[in-house]
Amino acid sequence: MSQIRVTVWGENVHEKKHKVVADIYPKGMHTAIADALAQDAEIKPRTATLDQPEHGLTEKILAETDVLTWWGHAAHGEVKDEIVDRVQRRVLEGMGLIVLHSGHHAKVFKRLMGTTCDLKWREAGERERLWVCNPGHPIAQGIGECLELPNTEMYGEPFGIPTPDENVFISWFEGGEVFRSGCTWKRGNGKIFYFRPGHETYPIYHNAGVQQVLRNAVKWCRPEGGKYAAGCPNIPIEKAKEKIKVTTKVTVH
């Protein structure tokens, strides 16, 4: 099987502004994520950032992307709507999309969900346990019964998303809240996975379990082929599968 071409998109704003984030991710979160994905020979990652022309997501790059991962937080509003349109179209065509942490409020995610994607949050360095809801799910392979993170930002329910096709993880936080931390959907031909951990001031993307989930998710999200409905073509009578005539007289029963 050919390699899965992944574009790891990073806003790359906190890394340049905050020393604590730069110390954890000297080459940016996007590079740390790409390096984690590259540990699997089946995955071929590249990176793209907000400050690049067309946010690094040109038509050509997206056409060559099987799975896109998205981390954003401080600059959701700076993402151009035409790029959001482009990403949405590629997802409908079959590109996989993995939305990370504060990407819950990314324009791309909100567009694809069609809901507020709002949630509760608290920054107190709490312990988090991501419980595996379905040990048979491909994204949960190698994780065991739960993934424990010593210090995280809390995200709590209610989470304003459409009901997921599947909840792969549910998180518990030290303060008592819970959250649907790993959710899947399908939009058009594209598979979407939202994965909660990833606050910039904790070394979340250096965690081996988190890295394993990301690699599993890329494989789960890979396109499955086939064309999604595009356009509304008229099929003339002479091209109907069966020979038919135009009926003008309507029979009333």
Interacting residues with Zn ion (CB under 5 A): 102, 153, 199
Distance in Å, CB of 153 to Zn ion, minimum: 5
Distance in Å, CB of 123 to Zn ion, minimum: 7
- Give me the residue whose beta carbon is nearest to Zn ion: 199
Question: Among residues 52 and 201, whose Cβ is nearest to Zn ion?
Answer: 201
Distance in Å, CB of 131 to Zn ion, minimum: 20
> How far is residue 219 from each of residues 41, 140, 172, 213, measured CA to CA in Å?
12, 12, 26, 10
Q: What are phi and psi of 70, to 5 degrees?
A: -135, 115
Question: Among residues 40 and 153, whose Cβ is nearest to Zn ion?
Answer: 153
Q: Given the DSSP bridges, would you call strands 96-100 and 146-156 parallel, antiparallel or unpaired?
A: unpaired
Distance in Å, CB of 178 to Zn ion, minimum: 17
Distance in Å, CB of 215 to Zn ion, minimum: 22
Tokens of 104: 């819950």
Is the link from the previous residue into 158 a cis peptide, with omega within 30 of 0? yes
Question: Among residues 64 and 78, whose Cβ is nearest to Zn ion?
Answer: 78
CB hemisphere CA count around 66 (13 angstroms): 18
Q: What is the C-alpha to C-alpha distance for residues 21 and 199, in angstroms, rounded to an integer?
A: 10
Question: Among residues 11 and 153, whose Cβ is nearest to Zn ion?
Answer: 153
Question: Among residues 5 and 101, whose Cβ is nearest to Zn ion?
Answer: 101
DSSP state of 163: P
Orientation of helix 208-221 relative to helix 29-38, angle to 10°: 70
